[in-house]
Chain A
Amino acid sequence: QQQVKQSPQSLIVQKGGISIINCAYENTAFDYFPWYQQFPGKGPALLIAIRPDVSEKKEGRFTISFNKSAKQFSLHIMDSQPGDSATYFCAAEGRRGANNLFFGTGTRLTVIP
């Protein structure tokens, strides 16, 4: 059973537009929510992360919005650029143990010039 559900599977956005990717979880033990970015032929790399004690975290054009009561979180990419074209994975992790990181199924973002 998928611990973290991610949508959409693919997304096409015009340059300068806003890209929005959504994720949802059920396990209330999760307390760390990272987003990974993956370019073709490369491994995923951490983009931005949030803990549930805040509702929003912004780093440059990337913002995570977090709704603890709904158990949902989302990634917003403002002023999307062709260089943002990549696959994005949300993830969730619990507090204990070496193996508590669960990934969503990924969103392939294409930004059209």
Chain B
Amino acid sequence: NAGVTQTPKFQVLKTGQSMTLQCAQDMNHNSMYWYRQDPGMGLRLIYYSASEGTTDKGEVPNGYNVSRLNKREFSLRLESAAPSQTSVYFCASRPWGGSNQPQHFGDGTRLSIL
């Protein structure tokens, strides 16, 4: 059971570089999410996709873009990386948005921007 798979696991970028974080789930879930985790701040939602073909901003969307490529895949792009985007990024999915459905998380991408 792969669940939610994130690639890469680690990445170091220079300021101004771009990159795409990949996420795929094999649970046939409709809703997918991108979070960033910073010390003392918990998990903050960047973008989410309620279903294939839709994406919406979360709490901290600035500096990021997303693509829901298909039902399985949801990517996060940093167009021009900044040191403030140094963080651990988590992708999550669940069957549908709404109550009583836990989110299933990947193991994260640790991103450092120099």
Give the interface of A toward B (CB within 8 A): 6, 9, 31-32, 34, 41-46, 49, 51, 89, 93-101, 103-106
Contacts and interface: CB of A to CB of B under 8 A. Distances in A.
Nearest to A39: B107
Interface of B: 4, 31, 33, 40-45, 48, 50-51, 56, 58, 90, 92, 96-100, 102-108
A104 B108 CA distance: 19
A96 B50 CA distance: 12
Give chain A's interface secondary structure class.
loop
Contacts of B56: 98-99
Contacts of B97: 97-100
Contacts of A97: 50, 97-98
Contacts of B58: 99
B99 A44 contact: no
A100 B100 CA distance: 11
A98 B56 CA distance: 10
A72 B62 CA distance: 32
B102 A96 contact: no
A45 B92 CA distance: 10
Given A32-B100, A44-B105, 14 more contacts: A32-B99, A34-B102, A41-B108, A42-B107, A43-B4, A43-B108, A44-B90, A49-B102, A89-B42, A95-B99, A98-B97, A98-B98, A99-B48, A99-B50
